[in-house]
Each structure stands twice: as C-alpha cells, then as structure tokens.
Amino acid sequence: MFIEIDGWMAKLRFSACHFIPDHPKCGCLHGHTYAVSVKLEGELKGEFIIDFETIKGIVNRICDRLDHKILIAEKDPRLLIRKSDSVSIEIIKSTKKYVLPFEDIMFLPTRSASAEDLCQYFTANIKKALDSNGVDNIKKITVRVDEGIGQGAGCEYEY
C-alpha cells in the first residue's frame, strides 16, 4: 500500500531563489515557488502506513529551512564561495560576482541547486527524519520537487 501527498494541495511549498551556472537563461539569480510531493510505500502499522500529519511535519520542516532563502550548492565545482566580510559571502562564477548576506543563504550539500538536486536533498532528509522517528515500516520513498506548476524532478529511495 502507499500514501501520497500532493505538495501544492497540502501546502508543502516554499519560495526561494537560485541560479544554474553556465545555463543561458537560468545562470542569472531568479526565483521559484516550489512544491514537494511525497509517496510512501510500506506496511500498515495499525490503521496507518504513517500519520499524514507526521510526514507533512517532516516535509514542512525541511521546506522551512529553504523558504525565502538564496539556495547555493556548496559542492558546485563551478563556483568559488568565500567569505567577503563578517556578514557577507562572495559567490564567484568566472566574470560574475554576487555578494550576498550570509544570513539569507541556505547552503545545500549538493553539486547544483537544480530541481533534481533539491529532490535528492529532500529524499535524503525525509529518510533521515523517518529513521530518527523510529519509522520502520516504509519500503520506498518517492519524492517530486516541482519548480513551479507543471514541471518537476522526481527520485526514489528503496529500503
């Protein structure tokens, strides 16, 4: 069996900005409203696979970390990221330099800030939260991160 939550309908959303180095259009800092949809397959435990409120709480807490932030992939080999002063970070991509307030940035442990990498970030963090909540009846996690309505990236984790 599975349960499924639509991120748009269930308000598992966040707004953030990012850029994709070297992309002709997406190489400029720009924003999206994202929605995170989740499907969990597993065995029933009592009457539920998992309480909807539990999984929504987990996803919401991850969304909150990213909401209204500038998403920077700290493992992006194309970027030079360095401290500018005590409150600012310089993000340098060849001839372009962004100087951004440190407190407005969410550094992602990824190689890009694409929907695909965000999806893997969400999947890994959902799995971690399920594990630390002692959830042991889930067999497969499927996550889709939509970058606006109608386009998104999906990934799966199987136990």
DSSP letter string over 37-100? EEEEEE--BTTBSS-HHHHHHHHHHHHHHHTTEEEEETT-TT-EEEE-SSSEEEEEETTEEEEE
State which residue, 25 or 82, has the beta carbon closest to Zn ion. 25
Check 68, 119, 155, 156 and give the catalytic one. Answer: 68
Within 26-65, which residues bind Zn ion (CB under 5 A)? 26
Check 32, 119, 147, 155 and give the catalytic one. Answer: 147
Question: Residue 15 in 3-state DSSP?
Answer: strand
Using CB under 5 A, which of the segments 5-13, 24-32, 70-78, 102-110 binds Zn ion? 24-32
Examine the residue annotation and report whether 68 is marked as an active-site residue of this protein.
yes
Say how far apart CA 94 and CA 97 lie, in whole Å: 8
Using CB under 5 A, which of the segments 20-28, 64-72, 138-146, 151-159 binds Zn ion? 20-28
State which residue, 41 or 117, has the beta carbon closest to Zn ion. 117
Structure tokens that stand for 62 in this block: 């991850």
Secondary structure of the chain: what % helix, strand, coil (to 5)?
A: 25, 40, 35
Using CB under 5 A, which of the segments 18-26, 47-55, 102-110, 124-132 binds Zn ion? 18-26
State which residue, 17 or 129, has the beta carbon closest to Zn ion. 17
Q: Which residues bind Zn ion (CB under 5 A)?
A: 26
Active site amino acids: 26, 68, 147
